[in-house]
Amino acid sequence: MSAYFIALEGARIDALIVGGGAVAERKARALHDAGAHVRVVAPAPCAGLRALADERLTIVERSFADGDIGTATLVLAATDQAEVNRRVAVAAQAVGRLVNVVDDATGGTFVTVATHRAGDLVVAVTAGGVPGIAARVRDALAQRFDARYARAVDSLSALRRRLLDAGRRDDWHRAADELLGETFCDAVESGTLTQELAAWL
């Protein structure tokens, strides 16, 4: 698979999920947590999906129809029926929408990735259509890239914004050169980054 990765602004996503089982619930939860507006179409949504329903997540209890694509910018085909998933993908692509088919990495226009978040640090992993591998690698990365990195990202983001807002772009470049070198991870994990940052505050 030739992949081009982007991070979408969750609050600007209008998502359609077709399917009502555990996979659909997991996708709906991730999109909802990202701030997206989510519409679920399923004849029998599971209890977990029903529990998510609120002003940003609505459920339509019936089978999929082509017109359900509507204004969705992101479509996920997450049923346990390959033919229904194929119909969803065809309908979405016919109107130029991004579509993921959960049980067929080549059936849509994008795949979802295994994601680890530590504050504003996000690490995403994909592994050739084998989600179990991606999940294992993500979990291994999560053990290292923990709350220490979340704090580092927060501190460095605040420093960058402060210097740029003050018109001190050259100072930010100097700070970045000093703080983000080859020893960055060691500094985060040993706690010395805090002292290094103090010189720029």
**In terms of domains, do 19 and 106 share one?**
yes
List phi, psi (to 5°) of 75: -125, 135
**In terms of domains, do 154 and 105 share one?**
no
Q: How many other CB atoms sit within 10 Å of the CB of residue 71?
A: 10
Give residue 60's domain range: 10-112
Domain assignment present for residue 108? The answer is: yes
Mean pLDDT, range 45-62, rounded to an integer:
97
Whole-number CA gyration radius for the chain: 21
pLDDT score, position 105: 85
Q: How many domains is the chain partitioned into structurally? A: 2
pLDDT at 81 over 90: yes
Mean pLDDT, range 163-182, rounded to an integer:
96
What CATH number is associated with residue 20?
3.40.50.720
pLDDT score, position 129: 78
Q: What is the pLDDT of the chain when averaged over all its residues?
A: 94
Residues in the chain: 201
Which of the two residues, 201 and 31, has the higher pLDDT score? Answer: 31
Instruction: Name the pLDDT band for 21 (thresholds 50, 70, 90).
Output: very high
Mean pLDDT, range 47-58, rounded to an integer:
96
Whole-Å CA distances, 110 to 6, 72, 141: 11, 15, 23
For residue 75, give the nearest of 50, 109, 126, 124 by alpha carbon. 109
User: In whole angstroms, what is the distance from residue 138 CA to residue 200 CA?
Assistant: 33
Which ranges of 3-119 does DSSP label H, i.e. alpha helix? 22-33, 47-52, 82-94
pLDDT at 35 over 60: yes
In this structure, of 81-90, 103-112, 181-190, the range with the lowest mean pLDDT score is 103-112
